[in-house]
Amino acid sequence: MKIAFLGTPEFAVPSLKMLIENGHEIRVFTQPDRPKGRGKALQMPPVKEFALENGLEVMQFERIRSAEGAAALNAFAPDLMVTAAFGQILSQENLDAPKYGCINVHGSILPKYRGASPIQTAIICGERVTGITTMMTDIGMDTGDILMTRETEIGDAETYGELYLRLALIGAELLKDTIAALENGTLTRTKQDDELATRCKTIKKSDAFIDFSLPTKRIHDLVRGMNPSPCAHALLNGESVKIHKTRPIGETDELYLEAKNTLETARCGECVVASSKLGLAVKTGDGVIEIVEIQFPNAKRMEARSALNGKKLLGEMFYINEERC
C-alpha cells in the first residue's frame, strides 16, 4: 500500500518501522529540524532520522496545511495516510488526499483524553489503565471514528517516559492489525460518544510545580507524569529543585514511624526526616512522601540519601512558589 506517514517524535518510530518491515511504499512527512540543547544546534526529529537511515524520502513543513504541504501530499497520491504524534492540525484538503482516509495512532482509549498530552495526563490523573486507539482522523481534535483499541495497565511506579515507550510499541502492533483489517475488508468504525470525552492540554513547566498540601498519591502521580520532562519541581531556600522520583509511605514504613511524632506540628512541604541512612521524607496533605531522587541547581540527578551526606534539610520547607503551600 502507498502510505504517507506523518509523525515527529520517538513515539512514532515503531509505527514507521512496522510499515517499512511490512513492505509498504512510504513517504515521510515530519516537522522541521529544531534547535536543541545548550548549543541550540539544529536537531532532526527522531522520525526523520529513522526514515533517512532506512532510505525513505522525507519532506518537512512548518505547516502541512500550507499550499506547499497540501500540494506535496496530493502529488504523492497516497492510498492511506497514517499519523502518529505528528504535532500539527490537518486541513480538510490534507485529509482528502489519501484514497482510504487517514488513520491516527492515539495514546489513550478514546474518547477519554483527547488532545496533546494523553499519556502524561493519564498518569497525573492517577489512571490505572490506559492504551492505544487507532481512529479515522477527521477535522476535529481526536473526534474521528474509533477503529481498534488495546488496553494496558499502568504500573504504580511507572513514569511518563516508561509508559510512552511501551505505548509506542503497542501502537505499532495495533496499527499493523488495523491496516490488515482495512486491506481484507473487515475494518469497522465506531462513533465516539462526545459526552464521555475529556480533553488534555499541552503540559507546561508551570504545571510541574509540586503542591505538598495535596494528598500523597496525587503528588506521586504528578512526579511520575512529569518524568522525564518537564520534571516536577519545588522551591527550596528560594531555588528550584527538581524531584525525579518519589515513593508513597504507609503508616508501617520505617520513614513514617520516624516522622510520626512531628507530623502534627509539621507544615505541608516540611522535611520531617532527612537522613542519609533512612532517606528524605516530606509532609503532605494526608501523610508523608519519600523523595527518592532529587536534583539541586547546577548539580546532577542523584539519590536523595546520597545528597543528604552534604546537606542538612531536616525542618526545611519545599514551596510551590514564593509563598508557603
Segment 162-219, tens digit of pLDDT: 999 999 999 999 999 999 999 999 999 999 999 999 999 999 999 999 999 999 999 9
CA distance 196 to 217: 25
CATH 3.10.25.10 residue spans of the chain:
206-319
Identify the H or E element spanning 302.
strand 302-303
Note the Cα 111 to chain centre separation in Å: 17
Cβ neighbors of 149 (< 8 A, separation 6 or more) are: 109, 110, 131, 132, 133, 134, 174
Q: According to the model, what pLDDT value does residue 125 have?
A: 98
CATH 3.40.50.170 residue spans of the chain:
2-200
Q: According to the model, what pLDDT value does residue 324 have?
A: 41
Q: According to the model, what pLDDT value does residue 325 have?
A: 36
Q: Quickly tell me which residue has 474509533 as its cell.
A: 146
Peptide bond into 32 cis (omega under 30): no
Q: What is the pLDDT of residues 123-172, one digit of tens each?
A: 999 999 999 999 999 999 999 999 999 999 999 999 999 999 999 999 99
* Rg of the chain over all Cα atoms, to the nearest angstrom: 23
C-alpha separations of 242 from 86, 249, 310 in Å: 29, 20, 17
Among 316, 289, 302, 318, CA closest to 209: 318
Centre a 10 Å sphere on the Cβ of residue 253 and count the other Cβ atoms it contains. 18
Among 293, 177, 178, 189, CA closest to 233: 293
CA distance 320 to 325: 6
CB 69 within 8 A of CB 81: no
Beta bridge pairs of residue 292: none
Instruction: Select the CATH number that applies to the domain covering 2-200 from these four: 3.40.225.10, 3.40.50.170, 3.40.50.620, 3.40.190.80.
Output: 3.40.50.170
CA dihedral over 100, 9, 171, 118, signed as positive or negative: negative
Q: According to the model, what pLDDT value does residue 5 have?
A: 98
CA distance 109 to 86: 18
52 backbone φψ class: left, alpha, beta (φ>0; ψ -120 to 50): alpha
CB 111 within 8 A of CB 198: yes
CATH number of 206-319: 3.10.25.10
Positions in the chain short of pLDDT 50:
322-325
Q: According to the model, what pLDDT value does residue 320 have?
A: 73
Cβ neighbors of 134 (< 8 A, separation 6 or more) are: 103, 104, 105, 106, 146, 147, 148, 149, 171, 174, 175, 178
Q: What is the pTM of this model?
A: 0.95
CA angle 193, 196, 200 (to 5 degrees): 115
Q: According to the model, what pLDDT value does residue 321 have?
A: 59
